[in-house]
Each structure stands twice: as structure tokens, then as C-alpha cells.
Structure 1
Amino acid sequence: MTDYEGFYAYNPHKGATIAFVVLFGILILSALVQIIMATHTSKRSIHRWENNELLEENSTIIYFPARGLMWTHFPFVLGICLEFVGYVLKIVFINSPSISTFIAQSVLLLIAPSLYALSIFMLFSKMARLILMEAYMLIPAKFSTVSFVVADMIGRVLQAVGGGLLSSWNSRNTGRILIIVGLFIQIFCYTFLTFSQLFLHYKMKAAPSKIVRDSNEWFQYNFILLAGILLVNGRTIVRVVQFLMGLQSYIGQHEWCLYVFDTVLMFLLPLIFLATFRARNLSKLQDKSVNIQLNKLLDKESVSED
């Protein structure tokens, strides 16, 4: 018997919860500062390119507006915010247990990782276009983006609805089933994205474009994205096991399992991204891509003049 009977099969650790509120809060500030700085740098680069006559004369140069790159990171930052708010609400719940607070924090912590995955997918799609290897994506970006977003959204909605149904004993089993279905949909999406990244990585080795040949940074960036989606998928699989086995399972009865296989993983993911952001971010890599594309056009013009 615990002080939170009907909610948890254990007494949640307040100190650990406070620690992760602080850690996720630091990540939010770091993410905002780094993304804003990268956006300003990207704007300066784009302004320089737009003054280049070659860019004006050739619409074949592939690049993304600074604002577009910034919004690609928006789900990522929102995911960190949901983790932060989720653990703040968990502290509120520990101090004053209520069904509404329990459901709110449970739903936020369930759906936050899917927002990380959404940013990873969009970054991967943009990377494939910038290295001029979109043709090697398993599904063309314009179709895969819509498919991934819709499927991921369905999974997220099912989890949110399922989380809401957990508030009633009569609908608790239905809620659990909806959450499991939503998680399985997301596992399918994340597994597909993993195979897409691995296939493109193979093609980058076997048949690299000139942009890929000129720099190993694209491989390193793809590894960062791959590590991110593997962390999200690993966490999602653990959550499926938790809901399949129920509250009386080992995972359901031991809080450390959720901290190790959920909280820590979802903290490590943005930590890895932000620790490597200054050296490896899409704005910086786009700068390299456009410069190579412009140099290639200059070489063509030189040959034609000769």
C-alpha cells in the first residue's frame, strides 16, 4: 500500500522529480539561445547568397529560409517544454494528489518524445535535400513528411485520449488499449525513420554526391539524428511493455525503471543535440552545401566560357 494508491504502485521520489525539473529547464534555455543564434547566422549567410548573381540566375540552388530552419526545431523545443511542465505537475501531484493533475502530467510525459521525433524527421528530410540525395529516401520527402506527421499525430492523439480515460475506473482499460495502439503506431513510424536513415547512410557511402564527398560532417550529423530516434524508439518500446503488463508489472511498481528507461533517455537526447549543436547544426551545414553548389555553377560557367 502506498500514499498514492490508485495512481502509482510506489511513492514517487520528490527529489528526483525536482532535479529533472531543473535539468529540463536548463535545456530549454540552452535550446532557445542556440537556435536563435543559429537563425541569426543563417540569415546573414542567406543575405550574402541572395546578393550573388549566380543565385539570382539559377533557381536550382537548394537551400531553406532561416525562419524555416528555425521552425524545424520548434517541436524539439516544445518536447523539452512538455517534459519540464510534466515534471512540474508531478511535483504538484506529490504535494497535493488529484486525478486531474495525475492525468495531465501523465499525458504530457507520454507525448513529449513524439515531438522530438517530429523534429528529427524534418531535419533528416532537409538534410537529404541539402546533400542532393533526396532520391535515395525510401519515400520521397513530400510524401513521407505528410505520412509521418499524420501517423505520428494519430498516435499522439490516441495516447492523449487514452490518458484522459485513465481518470475513470470504468474506462481505464479502454484508455490503456488506446495508449498501447498509439505507442505501436509511433514505434512503426520511428522504425521506418531508422531504416530510412540507415539506407541513406549506405547510399552516402556507396554513391555520394559532391556535397557529401567534400565533408564528413553529413555522416556525423546523420549519426546524431540516428542516435536521437533510437533513444525515442527505445523509450517508446519500454512504455508499451509498461502498459501491456499493467500497474502490477515490475516496471509499474518500480519508479527507477521509468527514470532510467524514459526520463534519462529523454534528457540525454536533447543534451546530445545541444552539446553538438554549435559544431553540427543544419544552418551551418546548409552554408557548406550552398557554397559547394555555387562553386559547382562557377566551374560550369568557366568551362562554358573556355
Structure 2
Amino acid sequence: MTELQPRGTYIFWSYVPSLGAAVIFLLLFIILTGLHTWKLFTTRTWFCISFTLGGLFEVIGYIGRAAAHSNTTTMGPYIVSNMFILLGPTLFAASIYMTLSRIIRSVHGEHLSVIRISRLTKTFVWGDILSFIVQGNSSSLSVLGYPLYGKICVLVGLAIQLLSFAIFWLTAVVFGKRIRRAPTRESLNRDLPWQQSLQMLYVVSSLVLVRSVFRIVEYVLGDEGYPLRHEWMMYVFDGVPMVVVMLVFYLWYPSRLRGYLDLDTSVPLTATTGYNGV
């Protein structure tokens, strides 16, 4: 039976990572990433490439977690597991952000967006990149012997991600309310699944928000906190939500929006109303 052992004075894990759980989630993410890769290339929805890469990050992360079961004193599996599972959702976020801008453009609802459409994707994606870079540096700082600075980097990166997603979620909700009150001609097209795509964004954004809050709580409480000492919490508040995010995004894949982005802009029904309300 595998036992938890320290490496010198430093303990990488507060428990022996479950091999069974790691393998189950590894298989789930392999299947889902395979499906997303197939969907990406068959539909040529290239703005979703970062989402597929996020799935690949999850696969690599759980490979590291499975390897850590019998290597609790080895640094490699620990770093791979923590870094790739931590960064996977950041790549999901980039495609989620870009989906909203395509929904808005497909229904010609630019005038109803809280953030100017030309800045919408850039604003959130740059925030996502910043979060990715800050969190990515955490592992190198920890390896170089600065665990406190590594922890601060993770918390700052997660805080940026949480703030970006909260603002994004509000932006999507406000847009949804506005276009239902003042629909454009394009939004009345029953062949355009913009409402389905918008509801999909609500679901996946909420799940990523829950996961980000959990991760912040986990790192704030530290090594002696309940989350880092009990493995089930990581699976319930990170593993399961990310599996559901990949599944929901796949089932309501935003590929059908592509065909409506090159249409000529028609005059919206609200053009003469001067609509400005929420």
C-alpha cells in the first residue's frame, strides 16, 4: 500500500492521490478532448481551439496526478498535476469569451452590448492571458524555493480570472435581457441558435466561477486548510465542474454561429427607439 512520505522537510501532498479517481477523470478528459478535437476540425470553428487545448491541459494534469499516486516524493508529477489542472480552465475561458462576441455579432446586437463590441473579446481575453501568465509563474517560483511568492501568484491569477468571469457573466446576462426586450431582426431568425448558445454560456461561466472561488478558498486556507487536506473537494469543485463544462460546450457547440457572421447588417427593430436601458 502506498504511503505518504516527505521529501526532506517539504511535503508535496497532504494525502496519497487516489489512482482510481485520477484514472477515471483522465479517461473522461481524454474522451471529451477527443470529441472537441473532432468537432473543432469538422466544423472549422477555429476560435474554439483554446477550449480544445484546455482539455489537453486537463489530460496532462491528470496524468501527473495518476503518476503521483506512487511518487509522492517526486517533484515532477506534483508540478505537472498542479500547473496543468490549474491552467486548463483559463484556456476554456478564452473560447467562452470569444463565443459571446460572436453571438452578439450574429444577431447584430452590437448596440445592446455593455462593452463596445470591438473591445469585448480583447478586454476579457487579455485578462485571461494575464491570469494565465501569473498563474503559470507560480510553479517556477515554488520550484526555485519561493513557495510564498508562488502562492501569491496563484491567488492573484485566480482573482483576475474570477473578476473577469464575474464581469463577463454580468455582460452576458445584461445583453440577454436587452435583446429580449428589444429584439433585432436577426434575433428573430429561428434557424440561428443564439439563445441556446447564450444559455450555454450562462451554465459554463457559472461553473468556472464556482471552480475559481473554490481554488481561491483552497489557497487562502493553505496547507493546513480542509480543502488541501481532503482530495474529494478538488474533484467535486474542480474536476466534476470542468467535465460538465466540456460536455455542455460540446453539446451546444457554437459552430452554427459562424454562418451568420458574414451576413450584411440589417436595420434592427430598435433602431428608432433609442434603447439604452437594461
Common fold: TM-score over 0.5:
yes
The answer to whether residue 265 in structure 2 is matched with residue 287 in structure 1 is: no
**3-state SS of the aligned residue for 1:15?**
helix
Helix, strand or coil at the partner of 1:184: helix
> Is 2:89 the counterpart of 1:101?
no
State the Cα distance separating 1:20 from its structure 2 match.
0.9
Structure 2 residue 34 is matched with structure 1 residue 29 = yes
For 1:143 and 1:10, the matched residues in 2 are separated by: 45
Which of the numbers 179, 197, 202 marks the counterpart of 1:204? 179
Q: Which residue of 2 aligns with 1:75?
A: 50
User: Does residue 187 in structure 1 map to residue 187 in structure 2?
Assistant: no
Runs of 4+ residues deviating >6 angstroms: none
Match of 1:237 among 196, 213, 219: 213
Deviations 1:201-233 (A, max 9, x none): 011111110111233732121010111111111
TM-score normalised by structure 1 residue count:
0.79
Residues 160-175 of structure 1: pairs in structure 2 closer than 5 A: 160-167=136-143, 170-175=145-150
Alpha-carbon distance in structure 1 between the residues aligned to 2:146 and 2:187: 53
1:35 CA drift (Å): 2.3
Q: Is the 8 A contact 2:89 2:242 kept in 1?
A: yes
Q: Is 1:145 matched with 2:117?
A: no
In structure 2, the gaps of 5 or more residues are 268-278
- Distance (Å, rounded) in 1 between the aligned partners of 2:47 and 2:193: 20
Q: Compared with structure 1, are the counterparts of its residues 141 and 290 closer, same or farther at alpha carbon in structure 2 (3 Å cutoff)?
A: closer
> How far apart in 1 are the matches of 2:202 and 2:20?
32
Quick check: 1:4–1:11 contact (8 Å CA) kept in 2? no
Residue deviations 1:86-145, cap 9 Å, x none?
111222222334113311221111111011111000011111111101222221132232
Higher Cα Rg: structure 1 or 2? Answer: 1
Q: 1:212·1:218 contact (CA, 8 Å) conserved in 2?
A: yes
Work out the CA distance in 1 between the residues paired with 2:257 and 2:131: 32
- Taking a change above 3 Å as real, the CA distance of residues 140 and 165 of structure 1, as seen in their structure-2 partners, is same
Q: Which of the numbers 92, 115, 118 marks the counterpart of 2:67?
A: 92
SS of alignment partner, residue 170 of structure 2? helix
The question of whether the paired residues in 2 share the 8 Å contact of 1:100 and 1:167 is answered with no
Q: Report the number of matched residues.
A: 259
Confirm or deny: 8 A CA contact 2:211 2:237 kept in the other structure. Answer: yes
RMSD over equivalenced CA pairs, Å: 2.0
Conserved 8 A contact 2:105-2:261 = no
Identity %: 26
Q: How does 1:27-66 map to 2 (within 5 A)?
A: 27-39=32-44
Calculate the TM-score normalised by the size of structure 2.
0.87
Structure 1 unaligned blocks of 5 or more: 40-69, 298-306
Q: Which has the higher helix share?
A: 1
Structure 1 segment 190-269 matched on structure 2, within 5 A: 190-215=165-190, 217-269=193-245
Q: Contact 1:103 / 1:166 at 8 angstroms: preserved in 2?
A: no
Q: Look up the match of 1:110.
A: 86
